[in-house]
Structure 1
Amino acid sequence: MEATVSDERPSPEGPATFREVFAQREFGALFTASALSWVGDYLAKAAVTLLVYEETKSVALSAAAFAVSYLPWLIGGPLLAAVAERHPYRRVMVICDLIRMALMLLIAIPGLPAPALLGLLFLATLANPPSQAAKSALIPQILTGDRLVLGLSLTSSVGQAAQVVGYLMGAAIAGFDPVIALLINAATFAVSAILVRFGVADRPAALGRAHRSHLLRETAEGFQIVFGTPVLRAIAVLVFSVMLFSIVPEGLAAGWAKDTAGDGLDAGVAQAVIMAANPVGFILGGLAIGRVFGPSRRLALMRPLAVLAPLTLVPALLDPAPVVVALLAAACGFAVAGMLPTANGLFVQALPDAFRARAFGVMGTGVQVIQGLAVLVTGVLAERFSIPPVVGVWSLAGVFLMLVVALTWPSRRSVEAAVAEARFGPGGAARVPAPEQPGPGGEPTDPATGPVAGPSTDDGRRRHAVT
């Protein structure tokens, strides 16, 4: 992908390798810390869900304990991400890990009533948006060129793997003693904080004090940069559109398994197979396409794969068996993983440094809202109609939507112009409002001192390949 929009043209040696990516020690520390905290998070979800059910015997409250982790993204994700922009990313991640560690220890106290458990869990999950935004903004400062795309693919894949491993471990450990699962989660946050603190270099805040305005205004600027820049808007529409369809089999898995299980496959096993299929396909797709194909080929495949993602689910119209449903979901996950890191890498290149955390906060919130909306709408439709035609028709509509998105994609000239503007200005620099003259009409910030120049001279040298 970077071949057509950055200085990282395809080289004779081909795509980046895993060895090259992990040769960057900072990325290794960040990757390991993320994997640990993700596994701990999913493990804790299973444990808290069980604790609330044991306390209340209420399925609704138990489901609320599972869903509460999504609330911070829905009610304040971009705002919390804007907070991360004001402080050094390493400090944000370490503080968030320590806060979550302390709150998980409190949740582990035996005998807490359900409202206290839910309240503490909500407070703990408030740390997720700023931590995730800071990490997303930091990775492009560590990896360059094709290493960035492979690193993003690895990070996405390990997140999916952590979901599978965390849920399985959480269910097993929570069945024995939920408190142990919570203590393990607290330990993962402690180790993550240590890895980030001592394995990642300290860098100044992307948005310096001289360029700050009001937090709400800075949050609004995050939306403005994403939806007001044609290339970034096109990427956002592409990502949000594909998320409308890829989540549906997982979201409807319980009802689908109950309606179609048979041939020796009970409903519980069928549900597990369908739910695990998309993450497994995502892992395989991210690793295979990210490693096998070079930058220019991945860019060429991005839009076809985006169309292929909903197309793989259209055969649901034929009411297949659960195993076939799982294969369709895995194929969808494979296609999404093939295009998503490429889109993310392009997003990074067209995004000025000082907006990274806020822009990723907008994208993270959008993905959460879109996925929830997709499951909600298809779930309501499935109450009236059977699930196979609902998923099949929904996916068929997705094919047409993705064709429109692909055919209206910005030209290569527009993409290169957006990357150049983010890299050198004046547009990229002018987007950071000067204190005495805010807004896009302000004078360009000094590239020697302003946040667009990057956190250090070393990072400034790297920016030609990653922003």
Structure 2
Amino acid sequence: MSKTSIFAPLKHRPYRMLFTGQLFSDLGTWLDMLALGILVAYTWNMGPAELAALTIVMGLPWVVIGPFAAVWADRLPRKGLMIFCDLLRMLIVLGFVVAPNLYVLLALVFFKELFSAMFDPARQGAIRTLVPEEVLLQASSLSQLSLNVTKVAAPVFGGIIIAASSPSFVFILEAVLFLFSMMFISRLPHMPKAMAEEAAEPGTAKRESVFWKHFKEGLRFIGENRVLATAIILMAVRFFLIFLYDGLLVLWGKEVGLPEEYFGVLLGAVGFGTVLGTLAVGQWNFWSPKPIQMMAVTGAISGIGILILALGSYQVIPSHPALWVTLFFFVGFIGAGSAVPYGYVLQKETPSAIIGRVTGAANSISNLSMFAAPALGAVVAEWIGTGGVFAIAGTGTVLTGLFALLAVRKAEAKREYAGKVDGLHG
């Protein structure tokens, strides 16, 4: 178990600037989640179809364009690219304020998410470049902490602002956050391009062939690295199973008899559990030699929590608000046991020169799995009920973790056997 504090990377000024810039960027990324929905549904009096379109446009760049955009995160200077993405996102969210209709708003949202999908791989690459190897795990954990905290806190903060003012004020504040992000990232030291330019040859065709070569290198690296591929697949399956039931939480709450005012408490419990779990997993990193096993075990345990939610839906266990708040906290806390090791694997297993492309491909795989899950969950709920969806998700989460654990142990046994055979013949 490492005695290095999770906050140790902040002693290094370059990482401190990067982390602060990321914190402001993450706040800006998530601040408008509620405000955009309020603008469409309440200000413009639109319905489910328009809200669905907004959700799709938010995710589309990460799935379709993110892996291609991530190539540029490895081809361009990372500091300049992050500043460029912050600048354009700042201008785009100011455009939200004056957007005259849904079509313009959707176009602006699309481009904001596109530049977010470019910012993230560049940030991952900057961590790999700036942080000493001995505190890479802690730096990755802090980065995950920023994401987890802002994903929960920023929409809530946005909702408070809307209640006191309007969505437009949220968008203006969001622009200020991206400005602050730019200010801190501009104080980073110069980081050279991750990839040296290939020998320049005239003609667009050559440039395109180089681009596709670099794009395929990222995918090939994932396919050839068993640990990295396993971590990405595990997280993609986990995200799919989470989003299978995520949209049904309101129906689940009605079935267990929770008053509507408890939903905010439940979400807060998940967020608080995730934050504490991230701090704990980042600090007590006994798992660092075997991150896949950590992901598998915590995944299986969190699946048990989801199965208990299914039992509540079927009225098998007595329903009490304190029980559900505690359980949601537990699921969030244990969930960090997968998220933090996953981020560490991305950093540890990937060379700096290609981490942008690997991150972009991993984000695309995860977001693609999330795209299909909510619609499938709704269809299955119509067929076997809300509790059935939670039961499927919980069982799938447990089995995925157990299968991954057995697969890793089998691979370790093979390596040990091969080592013994080599020793006999040596």
TM category (shorter chain) comes to 0.7 to 0.9
Aligned to 1:291: 283
Q: Distance in 2 between matches of 1:26 and 1:389?
A: 49
2:271 pairs with one of 271, 279, 285: 279
Question: SS at the partner of 1:202?
Answer: coil
1:117-153 Cα deviation digits (max 9, x unpaired): 2211212221011100110121122223452222222
Using a 3 Å threshold, how does the CA distance of structure 1 residues 296 and 221 change in structure 2: closer, same or farther? closer
Aligned to 1:82: 71
C-alpha displacement at 1:74, in angstroms? 1.7
1:316-363 Cα deviation digits (max 9, x unpaired): 232164653443333222222123322332332222322110000011
Q: Distance in 2 between matches of 1:340 and 1:182?
A: 29
Aligned to 1:430: none
Q: Distance in 1 between matches of 2:288 and 2:232?
A: 21
Q: Verify the 8 A CA contact 1:232 1:350 in the aligned structure 2.
A: yes
Using a 3 Å threshold, how does the CA distance of structure 1 residues 246 and 333 change in structure 2: closer, same or farther? farther
Structure 1 vs Structure 2 CA RMSD: 2.6
Is 2:299 the partner of 1:306? yes
* Residue type of the alignment partner of 2:338: M
C-alpha displacement at 1:100, in angstroms? 0.5
Q: Verify the 8 A CA contact 2:124 2:347 in the aligned structure 1.
A: no
Percent identity of equivalent pairs: 22
2:198 pairs with one of 185, 210, 213: 210
Aligned to 2:33: 45
Aligned to 1:379: 378
Aligned to 1:455: none
Q: Distance in 1 between matches of 2:243 and 2:280?
A: 21
Aligned to 2:424: none
Aligned to 1:101: 90
Q: Distance in 1 between matches of 2:84 and 2:113?
A: 13
* Residue type of the alignment partner of 1:383: E
C-alpha displacement at 1:259, in angstroms? 3.0
* Residue type of the alignment partner of 2:269: A
Aligned to 2:204: none
* Residue type of the alignment partner of 1:403: L
1:155-191 Cα deviation digits (max 9, x unpaired): 2122121122211121122232211111100111111
C-alpha displacement at 1:17, in angstroms? 0.9
* Residue type of the alignment partner of 2:301: L
Question: SS at the partner of 1:105?
Answer: helix
Q: Which residues of structure 2 form unaligned runs of 5+?
A: 200-206, 417-426
C-alpha displacement at 1:57, in angstroms? 0.8
1:259 pairs with one of 246, 251, 255: 255
1:221-264 Cα deviation digits (max 9, x unpaired): 222211233232222222223333344553322222233334xx
Aligned length: 397
C-alpha displacement at 1:302, in angstroms? 4.2
C-alpha displacement at 1:371, in angstroms? 2.6
Q: Verify the 8 A CA contact 1:261 1:270 in the aligned structure 2.
A: no
* Residue type of the alignment partner of 1:224: R
1:6-39 Cα deviation digits (max 9, x unpaired): xxxx7xxx33214422101122212222221222
C-alpha displacement at 1:413, in angstroms? 9.4
Using a 3 Å threshold, how does the CA distance of structure 1 residues 119 and 343 change in structure 2: closer, same or farther? closer
Please show how residues 56-67 of structure 1 align to structure 2 within 5 Å: 56-60=44-48, 61-67=50-56
Please show how residues 354-393 of structure 1 align to structure 2 within 5 Å: 354-393=353-392
Q: Distance in 1 between matches of 2:223 and 2:373?
A: 21
1:32 pairs with one of 20, 40, 46: 20
Q: Which residues of structure 1 form unaligned runs of 5+?
A: 1-9, 416-467
Using a 3 Å threshold, how does the CA distance of structure 1 residues 171 and 340 change in structure 2: closer, same or farther? closer
1:374-396 Cα deviation digits (max 9, x unpaired): 33322221122222232123211
Q: Verify the 8 A CA contact 2:63 2:364 in the aligned structure 1.
A: yes
Structure whose residues are more often helix by fraction: 2
Aligned to 2:109: 121
Please show how residues 8-27 of structure 1 align to structure 2 within 5 Å: 14-27=2-15
Is 2:132 the partner of 1:144? yes
* Residue type of the alignment partner of 2:274: F
Q: Distance in 2 between matches of 1:45 and 1:344?
A: 24
Q: Verify the 8 A CA contact 2:141 2:344 in the aligned structure 1.
A: no
Q: Verify the 8 A CA contact 1:52 1:117 in the aligned structure 2.
A: no
Question: SS at the partner of 2:280?
Answer: helix
Question: SS at the partner of 2:198?
Answer: helix
Q: Distance in 2 between matches of 1:314 and 1:78?
A: 34
Aligned to 1:241: 237
TM-score by length of 1: 0.78
Q: Distance in 2 between matches of 1:373 and 1:402?
A: 21
Q: Distance in 2 between matches of 1:340 and 1:72?
A: 22
Question: SS at the partner of 2:394?
Answer: helix
Using a 3 Å threshold, how does the CA distance of structure 1 residues 196 and 371 change in structure 2: closer, same or farther? same
Using a 3 Å threshold, how does the CA distance of structure 1 residues 18 and 229 change in structure 2: closer, same or farther? closer
Aligned to 2:162: 174
Q: Verify the 8 A CA contact 1:313 1:392 in the aligned structure 2.
A: yes
Using a 3 Å threshold, how does the CA distance of structure 1 residues 347 and 162 change in structure 2: closer, same or farther? closer
Using a 3 Å threshold, how does the CA distance of structure 1 residues 378 and 63 change in structure 2: closer, same or farther? closer
Q: Distance in 2 between matches of 1:49 and 1:281?
A: 26
1:165 pairs with one of 149, 153, 158: 153
* Residue type of the alignment partner of 2:151: Q
Using a 3 Å threshold, how does the CA distance of structure 1 residues 83 and 148 change in structure 2: closer, same or farther? same
Q: Verify the 8 A CA contact 1:378 1:391 in the aligned structure 2.
A: no
Using a 3 Å threshold, how does the CA distance of structure 1 residues 296 and 223 change in structure 2: closer, same or farther? closer
Q: Verify the 8 A CA contact 1:317 1:391 in the aligned structure 2.
A: yes
Q: Verify the 8 A CA contact 1:49 1:66 in the aligned structure 2.
A: no
Q: Verify the 8 A CA contact 1:240 1:370 in the aligned structure 2.
A: yes
TM-score by length of 2: 0.85
* Residue type of the alignment partner of 1:256: W
1:53-87 Cα deviation digits (max 9, x unpaired): 24531122234334422111122110111121110
Aligned to 1:191: 180
Q: Distance in 2 between matches of 1:78 and 1:113?
A: 30
